[in-house]
Chain A
Amino acid sequence: MKRTSVFSGAFALLLSFISIAPFVYVLTLSFLPASGGVTFDYYYDVFLGSPQYLLRFWKSMGICLCIVAGQLVVSILAGYGFAKCDFPGKNGLLFVLMILMVLPLQVTLAPNYIMLDKLGLLDTYSALIFPSVFIPLGTFILTQSFKSVSDDIIDAAKLDGCGLFGLLTKVVLPMNSSGLVCVTLLSFLDGWNMVEQPIAYIKDFVRYPISVALAYVPPTDPTLQLVCCILVVIPPLFLFTYFNRELVEGIVLAEVK
């Protein structure tokens, strides 16, 4: 027993080290320019010298918030429908949703491109926001999460005169905050880290989110790129630090069901 726990601990430590090492490497090298010595010059360049990095950061943040808001609305309504409403073909639709979920992004890239082209949305921020709003993972997680709410509670709320909106906001969502946080986090990270979609749908460099623009940072000194990486890592770091418990609970809940 003791031997197993020591082995597990050592393995966990090794895994943590492997995960943290790249971040520590980036953080350390961001102070060490190619010319030698220790400098804060690149931090000055990114955070104070020029607004282009921070403005792009906020632009990406805006895109992500739109994606999160849209995906929450879609996932909550669809998830509630799948979990608590009976309609013909429900199981078939859920099955299709699960298949869509496991499809690689590259498969849907071309159809999405054609649709966005027909809608005249190519080379706009909407081209990044709309396809991401309808990613099925959120609906799947919330469907599983809403299934944990007892039907008796919902019936009781309905008897008390609660409408659909009241039912969602006062009963179902407060009982499933972990699932909600999980969807928020995953959709935010999905939007924050998107690379293929902007490259496929956007031509104008000005509209590229920071995840893509990072690759085009002037390669005169890689240290500048590393400082940009530090900037990019701030929002996910905050979300994980603040919501780590809810995230784990949400994922566990979805899996248990």
Chain B
Amino acid sequence: MKKKALMIFVLLFWMLVACTLLSVKVEEQMIPQVTTVTASRGYSFDSDPEVPLSCLFFDSNGMHLYSTYEGTGWEAGIRVKEESPSSYEVGEESVILTNSWSGTFIEFASKPLKPGELVSEKRGGEQIEDHWLAVFSQEKPEFSELPEGVGLEEENDGAVLLSIAKAQQPYMDGRAKSLVPEFFNAQVYSFAEMRKFLDALPQVGLAAAMILAAVTIWACCCFMVKNVKKHWVGLLTGAVLGLLLLVGLHFVLGSVDLPSSLLPREKITDIGYFYQEYTEFFNALKSFAPPASESGLLAPNLPKTPAAKEMISYKNTLIMRPFLLMALGIVLPLVLRFVEWAILYKRSLPKIK
């Protein structure tokens, strides 16, 4: 009874430590990154304060204007507050605040916001060369006049690939849509963000492998604990490995950096969301490829653009790694257990001189 209780609580406490490490990382990754503006008065002193039109957020529930506030207690930190629709009017060039005199308003966000949510304010940020892929679920508009530094690389009926000379980091959907207004109804993806996502996959796989390894070691130890005297080396090895895995998990999680724009709104464990985003992105990229009948090949071709081609190849080289690592996480502890068993078996054999 005592041994069973000990083993159950050992796993429970290991999981609690692992969950603490994971939750620190999950919160860090899930916090939406935002840029803010302060409400300013127009030309005259007695006019109502205004914020740019880009502060308005649109979704299936309509139009939203978000401001920030400082939370206290369990809700400490900068949080999102949705302004009541009666407190502002939408003008031709700006949003006029009729009920407030000042305040900080969110202009762009790396992902959709919800009231009360913790946000991280970003200022500045480097500018990099990037590609944006827009996927249209409705009719695609014409891309005739593009702003300076934006080039049309590929397009078809449902998607457009643009090259951006200087894309402000981190990528924010609203910022992209304010630069290219034709993106209004589209789902826009940044190549830099997708590459970042793919780069993080092996580390995520390694973290999952470590957790699986710990559970496998624990399961092996559950059998060994029945005879502590016989298996003390195995149990000690298991305990040391468990601790080492926790330390390792801390470092592996430290190196994980997921792109905020590709993360789900609610839970990071929403695998369906990742699958949907990933599928939509790569299906849109593959749709740029000419049909196989044109090249005479049976397999579908890659898109013509080097960036798109490179992205698909990069994905192909990385996609299986997390699964392999996870499988190793289960297999390696079992191998270790087998080795221990083999040594004990060999020792138990009678020695013939």
Contact = CB atoms under 8 A, between A and B. Distances in A.
Contacts of A58: 20
Contacts of B13: 238
Contacts of B24: 51, 55
Given A234-B12, A238-B9, A47 B74 contact: no
A125 B5 CA distance: 31
A241 B9 contact: yes
A242 interface: yes
A42 B269 CA distance: 13
A238 B16 contact: no
Interface in B248-278: 267-269
B74 A51 contact: no
Interface in A194-221: 205-206, 213, 216-218
B312 interface: no
A65 to B, nearest CB: 13
Given A44-B269, A213-B74, A218-B75, A51 B5 contact: no
Interface in B6-58: 6, 9, 12-13, 16, 19-20, 22-24, 26-27, 30
Contact of A205 (B6, B22, B73): B73
Contacts of A44: 267, 269
Contact of B26 (A48, A205, A242): A48
A216 B16 contact: no
A220 B6 CA distance: 36
A163 B286 CA distance: 81
B76 to A, nearest CB: 8
Interface in A27-80: 41, 44, 47-52, 54-55, 57-58
Interface string A138-173: 000000000000000000000000000000000000
Interface in B269-324: 269
Contacts of B74: 52, 213, 216-218
B10 to A, nearest CB: 10
B72 interface: yes
B6 A49 contact: no
A51 B20 contact: yes
A96 to B, nearest CB: 39
A16 to B, nearest CB: 18
Contacts of B353: none
A54 B16 contact: yes
Contacts of A213: 74
Given A234-B12, A241-B9, A55 B20 contact: yes
B2 interface: yes
Contacts of B9: 234, 238, 241-242
B148 to A, nearest CB: 42
A205 B30 CA distance: 24
B73 A49 contact: no
A178 to B, nearest CB: 14
B31 to A, nearest CB: 10
A234 B27 contact: no
B5 A238 contact: yes
Contact of A49 (B2, B16, B23, B72): B23
A55 B26 CA distance: 14
Contacts of B6: 242
A213 B72 CA distance: 13
Contacts of B12: 234, 238
Contact of A51 (B2, B27, B76): B27
B23 A51 contact: yes
Given A47-B19, A49-B26, A238-B5, A205 B72 contact: yes
A211 B268 CA distance: 28
Contacts of B5: 238, 241-242
A216 B19 CA distance: 22
Contacts of A241: 5, 9
Interface of A: 41, 44, 47-52, 54-55, 57-58, 205-206, 213, 216-218, 234, 238, 241-242
18 contacts: A44-B267, A47-B16, A48-B22, A48-B26, A49-B23, A49-B27, A49-B267, A51-B20, A51-B27, A54-B19, A57-B16, A205-B72, A205-B73, A234-B9, A238-B5, A238-B12, A242-B2, A242-B5
Given A216-B73, A234-B16, 15 more contacts: A47-B16, A47-B19, A49-B23, A49-B267, A50-B23, A50-B27, A51-B23, A54-B16, A54-B19, A55-B20, A57-B20, A58-B20, A234-B12, A238-B5, A241-B9
The 10 closest A-B pairs by CB, nearest first: A51-B23, A54-B20, A238-B9, A241-B5, A51-B24, A47-B19, A242-B5, A205-B73, A48-B23, A216-B73
Interface of B: 2, 5-6, 9, 12-13, 16, 19-20, 22-24, 26-27, 30, 72-76, 267-269
